[in-house]
Amino acid sequence: MTSIEKRAEAGFNVATLRRDSIEEHFITLTPEGDESPESLFRRVGDAVRRLGGKVVSIESLGMAATDRKSLKVLIQALGDKDAPVGWIENSRTDNLCGVHVWAISGVGTIPVHANGRRIGTVLEDEYARYLRLVGLLPADRACAQPQQAAAIFRQMESALTDQRMGFSNVLRTWFYNNDILAWYRDFNAVRNGFFKERGVFNGMMPASTGVAGRNAVEAALITGLIAIEAKNPAVKAYAVPSPLQSSAADYGSSFSRAVELDLPDHRRLYVSGTASIDRSGKTVFVGDCRAQVKQTMEVVQAILRSRGMDWADVTRSLAYFKRAPDAFLFEDYRRECGLPSFPAIVVENDICRDELLYEIEVDALKTK
């Protein structure tokens, strides 16, 4: 019997998917008030130990460059020097930051390494093999930004090939580009070229997020992905259109609005980073963050409802605000619209267009 159990308290939220002897834990931790990064990271370690899980991936989001010294506290708290960590920096303004953890128990995991460091995890159940890559960085950080992006795509492909997969197996990608507004057009050109060469346009394009984000080694970008190799013909993955937006490909961005993974006992929905963009691909409500939040949340809700889901089914989300003082609008919207509480990390990030003030990505689960 497959079931989902949720638990929430101040600064901590976990959704556990129970499937026979396997349990997957999707953990979100955010600061309690002015809590220090060190205290937050110790709570991460406590949460993983309490759940008895093996770490699949960790994303630390919103920390400042001055917090890099605290990364060792996170590693120590986990008790695993080889933990796969994605360290995405911003400025920690108003303590807007948090940690996402994907952990699993009841099944073995296989570490994935590249260039002398852990970059991910392979896990397997009766239906499929899953590959989660996190914290990928270009090896040569001296070359230009587009060349670093091209190197990252080759690194992704190499890791996929090592696991007998390719980009046709990828469900979801993340790209945190340092100084994104200065070179997002170049990044898209690199991605489009790579996808064209590899035939990705002939199949399902992954869901994706592309926003600003620094990393601890000052590389042009830091990335991650989720891929799957089905073992059962009943396992399907397909792109999900947005009822309120056109395809992102219509304005030159190579990603699906959402991707659903349909398994025999449950469904997983990955909604791409979504912002205040209309059907023609134009930004709407320029300069009005409250209106952009409303527009964006309605677009995401329409995607969720098109798949028989809603906000109560969300197990992980990231809300990006261009300006930290606007971050209160997220909770304002949830309260005013009577939305149920769901796990969310709110951070300050530039988005891929200067006039975009808000973006959100969500993952959701639904049992059958």
Q: What is the pLDDT of residues 127-178, one digit of tens each?
A: 999 999 999 999 999 999 999 999 999 999 999 999 999 999 999 999 999 9
Residue 219 lies in a domain: no
Fill in the amino acid letter for 227: A
Integer Cα distance of 277 and 245 in angstroms: 7
pLDDT for position 251:
72
State the residue for tokens 């300050």: 348
Nearest to 35 by CA among 88, 99, 90: 99
Token reading at 248: 């992102």
Integer Cα distance of 266 and 22 in angstroms: 14
Boundary residue ending a domain (84, 106, 128): 106
State the residue for tokens 């990505």: 361
pLDDT for position 126:
93
Integer Cα distance of 171 and 363 in angstroms: 12
pLDDT for position 66:
96
- Rounded to 5°, the CA angle 179-181-185 comes to 115
Q: Contact, 18 vs 106, CB < 8 A?
A: no
User: What proportions of the chain, in percent to the nearest 5, are helix, strand and coil?
Assistant: 30, 40, 30
CATH code for the domain in which residue 365 is found = 3.30.1330.40
Token reading at 78: 């986990």
b/e 311-346 (16+ beta carbons within 10 angstroms → b)? bebbbbbbbbbbebebbebbeebbeeeebeebbbbb
The Cα-based distances of 360 to 180, 195, 295, 302 in angstroms read 17, 24, 11, 14
State the residue for tokens 């986990």: 78
Residue 126 lies in a domain: no
Integer Cα distance of 316 and 133 in angstroms: 17
Residue 307 lies in a domain: yes
164 Rama sector, left if φ>0, alpha if ψ -120 to 50, beta otherwise? left
Residue 162 lies in a domain: no
How many domains is the chain built from? 2
pLDDT for position 249:
77
pLDDT for position 247:
86
pLDDT for position 345:
98
Nearest to 4 by CA among 216, 315, 303: 315
Residue 156 lies in a domain: no
Token reading at 35: 């809590």
Parallel, antiparallel, or unpaired for β 221-230 and 12-19?
Answer: unpaired
| Full domain range(s) for residue 283 | 262-368
Boundary residue ending a domain (75, 106, 137): 106
Sheet holding 128-136, edge to edge: 109-114, 117-124, 128-136, 221-230, 170-177, 207-212
Helix (H) or strand (E) segment spanning residue 332: helix 328-336
Integer Cα distance of 68 and 309 in angstroms: 38
Residue 233 burial class via C-beta count within 10 angstroms: exposed 0-12, middle 13-18, buried 19 and up? exposed
pLDDT for position 38:
98
User: What values do phi and psi take at 84, rounded to 5?
Assistant: -80, 105
Residue numbers of the chain with a pLDDT score lower than 50: none
Boundary residue ending a domain (106, 129, 154): 106
pLDDT for position 342:
96
Integer Cα distance of 272 and 147 in angstroms: 25
Residue 150 lies in a domain: no
**What is the pLDDT of the chain when averaged over all its residues?**
96
Residue 93 lies in a domain: yes
pLDDT for position 250:
76
Strand partners, 275: 359
Token reading at 209: 């997020």
